[in-house]
């Protein structure tokens, strides 16, 4: 959708469990619908945490700016935190690491689920996703009859079925072999672009991220007070790894 975007400025998330403190700082980040963005960072730098904030699954600390521009309207996500569940269902799709499919539903039913929940039935778009993601012929099977790669492609179709503006994918190819990972990641980006959605995708495979996403942002640890781990988001630099 033209002009739709998610804008963050100086958000932070503080976690603490007594002895340990962790702080995530976003700086400025803008994600426009239709744009693929890769997210990298070492283990424990807060990739999942950041994706939870971006997907409106977790409230950042007070302060900073966090806005969603959609359908010609700007929503201040700080001021309208109570709207998060509704906005999430309508504008966001999620591809979890292990697929997250419902085992008692068929492939077709799993894919149609997000349309059903958001009351946006569109059989033609589901048909197109099934064809694009190479799932034709598998529609009536349940997830247990599929390979892990096939399940992940169903999960991608399900995340896109209700035509979200933003697709959040947390290491969606971690369980796949390198060839299947390359295929699934390419299909995720391609199908999302076709549907006009932004994809924010994390992975430890930097080569793969850079092959599929035009832009990569990176979380890296920064100096902090003793006892605190501080992770800061920045545009990718050559030294990032
Ligand atoms: N209650 C807490 N108190 C302090 N630190 C915490 C708490 N809960 C989680 N953390 C830390 O928050 C950080 C963020 O974890 P997160 O899962 O987002 O990282 P990640 O980059 O996705 O890691 P991975 O690549 O290993 O999946 C971790 O370093 C974790 O140890």
Cα 236 to ligand 1 centroid, rounded to whole Å: 20
**Please, are residues 38 and 29 in contact by the beta-carbon 8 Å criterion?**
no
What is the length of the chain?
241
Q: Where are the alpha helices (DSSP H) in the chain?
A: 47-54, 84-91, 107-118, 123-132, 148-160, 178-194, 206-212
pLDDT at site 11: 96
Strand order in the sheet with 28-32: 28-32, 5-9, 65-70, 73-76
Residues of the chain with pLDDT under 50: 237-241
For ligand 1, is residue 43 a contact (CB within 6 Å)? yes
Superfamily name with CATH number, domain 32-60+82-216: P-loop containing nucleotide triphosphate hydrolases (3.40.50.300)
pLDDT at site 194: 85
How far is CA 26 from each of CA 47, 146, 162, 193, 221, rounded to the nearest angstrom? Answer: 11, 38, 28, 25, 12
Cα 231 to ligand 1 centroid, rounded to whole Å: 10
- Quick: pLDDT tens for 106-118: 999 999 998 998 8
Cα 204 to ligand 1 centroid, rounded to whole Å: 15
Atom index in ligand 1 nearest the CA of residue 170 equals: 22
pLDDT at site 214: 84
**Please, are residues 222 and 188 in contact by the beta-carbon 8 Å criterion?**
no
Prediction pTM value: 0.92
pLDDT at site 2: 56
Strand order in the sheet with 198-202: 12-16, 21-25, 228-235, 215-222, 36-41, 198-202, 166-170, 92-95
In this prediction the ipTM stands at 0.98
Domain boundaries, the chain: 32-60+82-216
Atom index in ligand 1 nearest the CA of residue 16 equals: 3
pLDDT at site 100: 87
């Amino acid at each position: 959708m033209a002009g739709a975007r998610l804008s963050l400025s100086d958000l932070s998330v503080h976690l603490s469990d007594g002895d340990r403190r962790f702080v995530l700082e976003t700086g400025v980040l803008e994600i426009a619908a239709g744009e693929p963005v890769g997210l990298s960072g070492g283990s424990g730098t807060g990739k999942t945490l950041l994706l939870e904030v971006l997907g409106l699954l977790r409230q950042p600390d007070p302060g900073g700016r966090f806005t969603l521009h959609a359908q010609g309207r700007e929503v201040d996500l700080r001021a309208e935190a109570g709207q998060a569940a509704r906005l999430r269902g309508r504008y966001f799709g999620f591809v979890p690491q292990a697929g997250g499919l419902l085992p008692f539903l068929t492939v077709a039913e799993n894919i149609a689920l997000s349309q059903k929940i958001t009351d946006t039935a569109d059989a033609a778009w589901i048909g197109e996703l099934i064809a694009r993601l190479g799932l034709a012929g598998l529609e009536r099977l349940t997830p247990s009859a599929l390979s892990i790669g096939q399940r992940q492609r169903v999960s991608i179709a399900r995340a896109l079925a209700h035509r979200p503006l933003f697709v959040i994918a947390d290491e969606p190819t971690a369980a796949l072999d390198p060839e299947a990972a390359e295929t699934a990641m390419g299909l995720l980006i391609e199908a999302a672009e076709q549907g006009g959605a932004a994809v924010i995708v994390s992975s430890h495979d930097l080569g793969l991220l850079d092959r599929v996403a035009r832009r990569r942002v990176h979380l890296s640890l920064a100096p902090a007070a003793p006892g605190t781990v501080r992770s800061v988001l920045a545009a990718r630099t050559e030294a990032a790894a």
